[in-house]
Amino acid sequence: MSKSDKSAKTNPEAVSKEAADKAHLDIRGKKLDLDILKATMGPDVIDVQNFYKRSGYFTFDPGYTSTASCESKITFIDGDEGTLLYRGYPIDQLAEYGDYLETCYLLLYGELPTQAERRQFDDAITYHTMVQEQMSIFFRGFRRDAHPMAIMVAVVGALSAFYHDSLDINDPEQREIATRRMIAKVPTLAAMAYKYSLGQPFVYPRNDLDYASNFLHMCFSVPAEDYKVNPVLARAMDRIFILHADHEQNASTSTVRLAGSSGANPFACVAAGIACLWGPAHGGANEAALNMLEEIGTPERIPEFIARAKDRNDPFRLMGFGHRVYKNYDPRAKIMQRTAHEVLSEVGHKDDPLLQVAHELEQIALKDDYFLERKLYPNIDFYSGITLRALGFPTSMFTVLFALARTVGWIAHWREMIADPTRRIGRPRQLYTGPVRRSYVPMSKRGTGLGADYHRD
Ligand code: SDX
């Protein structure tokens, strides 16, 4: 048995570094050498693309905890260190020194823009922010109390009904037009969803405002009076967009990639990403985290909720805590915490009781063995709700803002997948444990009563 086999034998997880380019597997006496593909950062991967053809076995990884679904050059997370890089640049530097449209350019094209490139990109986005006037008719079909995420899934998908000149995914030019249209129009649609929920008239975008200021203007201005964008709040909004822009192969990005692998148009793929993001375990956690903080209400009730979060028989979890990849503090959460203080001070709520509850909850949880053993730390959603509420948004809009910001990440991954010459439709297999083959039973030979597992509504 080679040295690497020995190390694999004693520690099955270990793949010997000596065989840097091969992993050796022994399956019930059948030997298999698998290529190890090198990463520039993070874990190398064992290539199992031909594993079934060569071994007759599937690999099994339902939550993709150990599975790389693709090769990507866009974003890298070091979960142990708690670092996040967009095209190699640390998130804290981009949030500090850059802005969202620059981050969009970086995620899409791989480099920070020159001044000329930036100007051209800004214009390309600014002059596409309006949507076809008929789109406003879609909104009228919804009840006023429709959840804005339900509206966003519908209207973003409906963009493909208007823009037939940017649906051919094999035409790079059309991919580029669809890219710019979505980054430009999703904020307009998000603001329309918000205005519709208020029963207020839609506000058109303005070309003299920057991206975040334009969004706040479309959300909070009314025809009855002038609205002046607060530059501190606009900067905070822009930074929040940067923090949410991309995050490797998270559930919604993987949804967009899988939808795109079938050749579906980019608007439909992003609508699928929005639908996935809505879940409370994913992008819906910011809304759920604020609702949780409001339910806790005072620091005195924190122990009761910590106990519930630790109780295996209670489905309650601390929303905004824990992460599949981060086993350290989510770097975005730290920046979001600072932004929360900034916004609350600017709007005159620096003593917001929920911020105190959040801070106390964090301090208690981070000293509790249950959370320490499982490496559960605050994630981006823990402080974002407090910040977004202070900016004036209702909780129902929190995940919409996440979707707005993540649109560029979804599109960057969609473009990377479409441009990959080895692209194939994603089609996972399964571990089947259902009934083995059996023959049809005519009604006359079946029981007469209701079977034990008959499910009433
Ligand atoms: C986002 O993937 C991304 O990158 C997502 C995201 C992005 O930018 O796209 O970062 C955005 O979705 C952030 C996560 C937002 N979700 C929440 O805050 C919801 C609360 N968190 C959990 O639901 C959970 O932590 C997940 C979904 C985030 C991660 O789930 P995992 O990796 O599948 O972890 P797990 O469910 O296997 O939990 C491991 C253990 C379990 O306990 P044991 O079975 O070992 O006893 O930790 C426990 C869990 O019960 N646990 C929690 C907990 N999160 C995990 N216990 C209490 N409260 C929590 N929040």
The pLDDT tens digits along the chain (457 residues) read 343 343 333 344 333 333 459 999 999 999 999 999 999 999 999 999 999 999 999 999 999 999 999 999 999 999 999 999 999 999 999 999 999 999 999 999 999 999 999 999 999 999 999 999 999 999 999 999 999 999 999 999 999 999 888 788 889 999 999 999 999 999 999 999 999 999 999 999 999 999 999 999 999 999 999 999 999 999 999 999 999 999 999 999 999 999 999 999 999 999 999 999 999 999 999 999 999 999 999 999 999 999 999 999 999 999 999 999 999 999 999 999 999 999 999 999 888 899 899 999 999 988 999 999 999 999 999 999 999 999 999 999 999 999 999 999 999 999 999 999 999 999 999 999 999 999 999 999 998 888 777 666 5
Atom 55 of ligand 1, nearest CA residue: 322
Count the Cβ atoms, other than its own, within 10 Å of residue 440. Answer: 5
| Pairing label, strands 89-90, 83-86 | antiparallel
Rounded to the nearest angstrom, the distance between the alpha carbon of 321 and the centre of ligand 1 is 7
Q: Does residue 321 have its Cβ closer than 6 Å to ligand 1? A: yes
Q: Which of 256, 374, 375, 381 to mutate to test the pocket of ligand 1 (most atoms within 8 A of CB)?
A: 374
Taking CA atoms only, the protein residue closest to ligand 1 atom 32 is: 324
For residue 57, the CA-to-ligand 1 centroid distance in Å is: 30
Q: Which residues pair with 84 in a beta bridge?
A: 77
* d(CA 48, ligand 1 centre) in Å: 27
Please work out whether the CB of residue 184 comes within 6 Å of at least one atom of ligand 1.
Answer: no
359 is catalytic: no
Does the CB atom of residue 374 touch ligand 1 within 6 A?
Answer: yes
Our answer to whether residue 323 is catalytic in this structure is: yes
Nearest residue (CA) to ligand 1, atom 34: 324
Kindly tell me the sign of the dihedral angle through the C-alpha atoms of 27, 29, 35, 38: positive
pTM comes to 0.92
Residue closest by Cα to atom 30 of ligand 1: 324
State if residue 250 touches ligand 1 by the CB under 6 angstroms criterion.
yes
Residue in 240, 256, 282 to alter for ligand 1 test, most ligand atoms within 8 A of Cβ:
282
9 lines ligand 1 (CB under 6 A): no
Q: Which residues pair with 24 in a beta bridge?
A: 33
Candidate list 99, 323, 330, 352, residue with the active-site label: 323
Query: Measuring CA to CA, how many Å separate 206 from each of 116, 172, 228, 351?
Result: 22, 29, 13, 34
Q: How far apart are CA 412 and CA 108, in angstroms?
A: 5
Distance of alpha carbon 310 from alpha carbon 369, whole angstroms: 10
How buried is residue 421: exposed, middle or buried, by Cβ count under 10 Å (0-12/13-18/19+)?
exposed
- Nearest-angstrom CA–CA distance, 152 and 274: 7
Q: Relative to the CA of 323, which ligand 1 atom is closest?
A: 28
Q: Which atom of ligand 1 is nearest to the CA of 244?
A: 8
CB 384 within 8 A of CB 240: yes
The atom of ligand 1 lying closest to the CA of 65 is 32
Does the beta carbon of 276 sit less than 6 angstroms from any atom of ligand 1?
A: no
Q: How far is CA 332 from the centre of its chain?
A: 13
